[in-house]
Amino acid sequence: VLVNPNALTAYGLSLDSVRQSIAATNVNQPKGSFDGPTRSTMLDANDQIRSVEDYRKLIITWQDGAPLRLGDVATIVDGAEDRFLAAWANSQPAVLLNVQRQPGANVIDVTDSVRELLPQLTSTLPAAVDVAVLTDRTHSIRASVSDTQKELLFAIGLVVLVTFAFLRSPSATIIPSVAVPLSLVGTFAFMYLMDFSVNNLTLMALTIATGFVVDDAIVMLENVARHREMGKSPMQAALAGAGEIGFTLMSLTFSLVAVLIPLLFMPDVVGRLFHEFAITLAVAIVISLVVSLTLTPMMCARMLHTPPQEDAGGFMHGVIERYGRALDWVLERQRATLLVMLGTIALTGLLYLAVDKDFFPVQDSNVIQVITEAPQDISFSAMAERQRNLAVALLEDPAIENLSSFIGVDGSNVTLNSGRLLINLPPHSERDESLFTVMNRLRERAAEVPGITAWFQPVQELTIEDRVSRTQYQFSLTSLDSDELREWVPVMVDALNARPELQDVASDLQQQGLEAYVEIDRDAAARLGLNVTDVANTLYNAFGQRQIATLFTQANQYRVIMEVDPQFAGTPDSLRNLHVTSADGSSVPLASVAQVHQRSAALLINHQGQFPATTVSFNLAPGASLGQAVEAIEAVQQELALPVSVELRFQGAAEAFRASLSNTLWLILAAVLTMYIVLGVLYESTIHPVTILSTLPSATVGALLALLLTGRALDMISVVGIVLLIGLVKKNGIMMVDFALEAQRNQGMSPREAIHRAALLRFRPILMTTLAALFGALPLMLASGSGAELRQPLGVVMVGGLLVSQVLTLFTTPVVYLFFDRLTRQRTPEPAPTPESAL
């Protein structure tokens, strides 16, 4: 109902009288019923007005014996519920419908169900209405899952090839390869029972598992094959090999699973993210142990009729001989080797300080979110025009598939001068440019559109943000005094914009909106029979889009909104056209009891924890990490010497990053401690677990070096990779120490002879298992396509750590074994050692 205030003045009416007339003639309440001797009759009436035409005919008063109808003083239209909302699909006006899944629902199933319903829904709409899907987040999810599945198959193929390259026998290759599908099928069954979903993290766990699950079977097969080479029958070799290596396999598996336990207890959202990852990987490893202890020996007894063929020219024997000579050389220089190992530990600390820190890798998900902002005093129509101009300018870029645009105050836009765009790019396979290249080009194009500022950020599949923000990261400034915030926030923003690690720094402090302040003369109002409530009601009736009635139909309900016609509500001067009805029924001009002053006012007042707060948003500059950005912000805070009463708190991903940074060291220490306890229980010793764990620094050095050489930051995916390395590289130590202890106890060998023989005997399975794990991680390191940014750090860390640890642990583990053996003998006097064992 768009009221003409001039018409009301001419008829001597007020806005409140119109409102009361409409409300009084449009009601919805029960009337009762008639209950006669034989029948009952319900009672109803035409007390609701249901059409625009009926509203026009509504009599609001009688003057001079003639009816004055609503249509005489107002324009009545079927309109939008809120005319200060607008949306566009590309450049066409649209209604945007966001569909979100319920917690726990499968997003793929929800999307497929919605798409199945669309033809049915479209058929019920007018032909001029076009229904189209603008943004489908499952495109990137499906592509990411598909790419990870291909990488899983690629990893399986590489692992099988590695096995064949060493064993050079199809039947011998089949035996350990069977462990891969059996372990994966068993893991999928467990995931189904536990209601786990197939997602990026669980698929990463399965891909890494392909290199892990074959290890036990390879160790079992290699040991059985060694007994076959001694001339034993397949059955004898299988029994002897399985009995000899069974404890070793249990040590390998339980210590590896122990490393995953701390991942299950990580705090906050990071722990919830990696919960399914850790359980999925642990289940696959345990199933592989069962297969290796049962099926693998049986297949060896049935299928290993001839020993695996030695490679032509005795290549592996030659490698083992060269390794033996190199090991002798190292054992002659044990003190220098121990110093190298200590240097490795120190290098780990230096590399940790040198490598950049981050939370999660930024992903190319084919979707870019844009937050727009115009001057704080902009009108809705001007904002709509500038938003359309920006959309048209961006659509000129050929990389954009489509976009949606929205302005108006709702759950995500909190002020009238802000808006949003969602830009969709073609899938990875259909474009040559990365999302980040396109986004930087769009930034430059948006900067050319006058009167509006745009902030761009890629939409992330893996995110913990719970708010819509201009940028990817935020922090808040809180204070008891809002004036103090108004003073320091602009200073902070200007200082941060000057830092090279940051870009797009802005705050949500909006204090320059225009306000028309109505100053009521209470004495004049009382003299004319008015009160403040009368004035406030008049203002609300005129400019507040006041809901004055509700229409109820069988399917829906509609609000009846009253305001003055927009042509009479453009400026504060419009108040001169308003009149207020006094107690005696006379019409009093509002200007006679009130004056209007224009002043600045806040568009937005934020609180955090009941205190005034301002959120400062920022993006990372190209090449900068989140760790560098956080350090830059803290440095600016110190340089500016903010008052103690102004508190800085990081929010969202930035806050989670700081928490994870402090928890990373504890996570790694917890993994090491857990593995030490498990190994201590298995070996009933406090010394031998330390010997085995001495392999860890070399793996960490390799992982951090790989991150530095590839220009990557140490993020949570990388940390998980390092934790997995901790469980993996100790396999080398376990296989050596197990055989050395066995040789010392049962064969009477000296410590040096025992560890030397163990290193040579276990060289081939160590090399095979390491290469199997390495090639299982290689597809992740080389990943491309949707979601590859999440998988690549895990592959880089695994490959780098395995390469360096493989080289170093083959030499450092025997030296550490002999060092602790001497230390034990010094504490527990024994008969004098032979000259050979004293070396």
Does 212 have pLDDT greater than 80?
no
Position 422 scores a pLDDT of 92
Domain 2-78+528-570 bears CATH identifier 3.30.300.30: no
- The answer to whether residues 27 and 52 touch, using CB atoms and an 8 Å cutoff, is no
Question: What is the share, in percent, of the chain residues with pLDDT greater than 90?
Answer: 15
The dihedral sign for the CA sequence 661, 663, 667, 669 = positive
Does 250 have pLDDT greater than 70?
yes
Tokens of 282: 């642990």
Domain with CATH 1.20.1640.10 in the chain: 178-188+202-278+322-354+685-827
Q: What are the beta bridge partners of residue 87?
A: 406
- The answer to whether residues 801 and 721 touch, using CB atoms and an 8 Å cutoff, is yes
- The answer to whether residues 365 and 786 touch, using CB atoms and an 8 Å cutoff, is yes
Which residue, among 251, 234, 261, has the nearest Cα to 293 in the 3D structure?
251
User: What is the DSSP code (8-state) at residue 308?
Assistant: P
What CATH class is the domain 178-188+202-278+322-354+685-827? mainly alpha
**Cα–Cα distance between 701 and 693 in angstroms, integer?**
14
**Cα–Cα distance between 258 and 253 in angstroms, integer?**
8
In 684-747, which residue ranges form alpha helices assigned H by DSSP? 688-693, 696-709, 716-747
**Cα–Cα distance between 720 and 271 in angstroms, integer?**
11
Q: What is the mean pLDDT of residues 789-799?
A: 88
Position 446 scores a pLDDT of 93
CA dihedral 659, 663, 664, 668 (to 10 degrees): -170
- For strand 502-507 and strand 86-89, is the pairing parallel, antiparallel, or unpaired? unpaired
Position 312 scores a pLDDT of 45
Which residue, among 767, 829, 774, has the nearest Cα to 799 in the 3D structure?
774
**Cα–Cα distance between 364 and 435 in angstroms, integer?**
6
Position 746 scores a pLDDT of 80
**Cα–Cα distance between 400 and 396 in angstroms, integer?**
8
Quote the mean pLDDT of the chain: 84
The 3-state DSSP class for residue 299 equals helix
Domain with CATH 3.30.2090.10 in the chain: 2-78+528-570
Does 829 have pLDDT greater than 70?
no
- The answer to whether residues 240 and 226 touch, using CB atoms and an 8 Å cutoff, is no
Q: What is the mean pLDDT of residues 129-133?
A: 87
Q: Is 374 left (phi over 0), alpha (psi -120 to 50) or beta?
A: beta
H or E element that contains 655: helix 652-683
pLDDT digits (tens, 9 = 90+) for 15-40: 888 998 888 887 878 888 888 888 89
Does 837 have pLDDT greater than 60?
no
pLDDT digits (tens, 9 = 90+) for 676-701: 888 788 777 788 888 888 888 888 99
Does 549 have pLDDT greater than 90?
no
Position 553 scores a pLDDT of 77
Pick 666 or 238 by higher pLDDT. Answer: 238
pLDDT digits (tens, 9 = 90+) for 139-184: 877 877 777 777 778 877 877 887 777 777 787 788 888 888 888 8
Does 445 have pLDDT greater than 70?
yes
Position 836 scores a pLDDT of 43
Most confident of 194-198, 219-223, 269-273, 453-457: 453-457
Most confident of 105-109, 448-452, 502-506, 639-643: 448-452
Position 403 scores a pLDDT of 93
- For strand 2-3 and strand 557-564, is the pairing parallel, antiparallel, or unpaired? parallel
**Cα–Cα distance between 808 and 832 in angstroms, integer?**
31
Backbone angles phi, psi at 108, to 5 degrees: -65, -45
Position 308 scores a pLDDT of 54
In 479-566, which residue ranges form alpha helices assigned H by DSSP? 482-497, 522-527, 532-543
| pLDDT range class, residue 839, cuts 50, 70, 90 | very low
Q: Which amino acid is at 286?
A: V
Q: What are the beta bridge partners of residue 423?
A: 368, 403
Q: Pick the range with the lowest mean pLDDT from 186-200, 300-314, 434-448, 558-572.
A: 300-314
